[in-house]
């Protein structure tokens, strides 16, 4: 299994068992102020305290910056070191620039705003904006018609990452699928 991420001193492979303690695997090989994630950044769990274990289906530990500081008027800066899917920061002019992303969502949750970002990252043959709206409104009939039964929580990772509303769509999909199963 791989230990990766911008907060790993050097990425490496480790031989271990399922359910192993993450903090023991990464000890002395992690930089300061790091969040350890069992699995990928898009669909893993924060490995800390009681959850400090390697998930059953996880073959990766990702180390990212524990980004808990708030930036006053951060949207007002030119954003040379900020990632954006849309052309709102100067960093978009540097297409080969790599970003070390952290754990911050850069603000609180907001309403879903369809600005085309979901279609830009959609790897599946679905209508993402319509499906995500149906998920948020718990319209299970529309979820079924739009292909929601073919999805799992990890399929929502890219949509969660680019969401301007900072919505985690994985648990919302699970709630809808559970409701569909209950209703038959």
What residue ranges do the domains of the chain occupy?
2-65, 68-107, 117-183
Asked if the model's pLDDT at residue 15 lies above 70, the reply is: yes
How many CB atoms neighbour CB 141 within 10 A?
A: 10
pLDDT at 83 over 80: no
Q: What is the mean pLDDT of the chain?
A: 84
Question: What share of the chain has pLDDT > 90, as a percent?
Answer: 27
Q: What is the pTM of this model?
A: 0.74
Q: Looking at residue 176, what is its pLDDT? A: 96
- Of 16-25, 85-94, 155-164, which gets the smallest average pLDDT? 85-94
Q: Give the least confident one: 27-31, 112-116, 126-130.
A: 112-116
132: burial class by Cβ within 10 Å (0-12, 13-18, 19+)?
buried
CA nearest neighbour of 41 among 119, 151, 154? 154
- Strands (E) across 39-171 are located at 45-46, 60-65
pLDDT-derived band at 80, boundaries 50, 70, 90? low
Q: How confident is the model at residue 35 (pLDDT cuts 50, 70, 90)?
A: confident
Contact between 159 and 169 (Cβ < 8 Å) = yes
User: pLDDT value at position 7?
Assistant: 86
Choose between 48 and 13: higher pLDDT. 13
pLDDT tens digits along 63-73: 988 877 777 76
Instruction: Please state, in angstroms and rounded to a whole number, the distance separating the CA atoms of residues 90 and 109.
Output: 24
Instruction: Give the lowest-confidence range in 21-25, 69-73, 172-176.
Output: 69-73
Which H or E run contains 159?
A: helix 157-162
């Amino acid at each position: 299994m791989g230990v990766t991420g911008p907060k790993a001193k050097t990425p490496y492979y480790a031989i271990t068992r399922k359910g192993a303690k993450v903090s023991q695997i990464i000890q002395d090989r992690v930089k300061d102020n790091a969040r350890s994630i069992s699995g990928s950044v898009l669909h893993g769990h924060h490995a800390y305290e009681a959850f400090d274990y390697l998930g059953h289906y996880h073959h990766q530990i990702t180390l990212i910056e524990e980004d808990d500081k708030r930036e006053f008027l951060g949207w007002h800066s030119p954003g040379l070191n900020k990632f954006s899917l849309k052309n709102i920061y100067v960093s978009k002019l540097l297409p080969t620039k790599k970003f070390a992303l952290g754990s911050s969502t850069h603000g609180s949750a907001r309403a879903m705003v369809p600005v085309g970002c979901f279609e830009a990252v959609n790897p599946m043959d679905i209508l993402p904006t319509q499906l995500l709206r149906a998920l948020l409104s718990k319209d299970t009939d529309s979820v079924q018609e739009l292909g929601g039964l073919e999805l799992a929580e990890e399929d929502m990772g890219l949509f969660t990452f680019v969401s301007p509303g900072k919505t985690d769509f994985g648990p919302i999909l699970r709630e809808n699928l559970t409701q569909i199963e209950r209703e038959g």
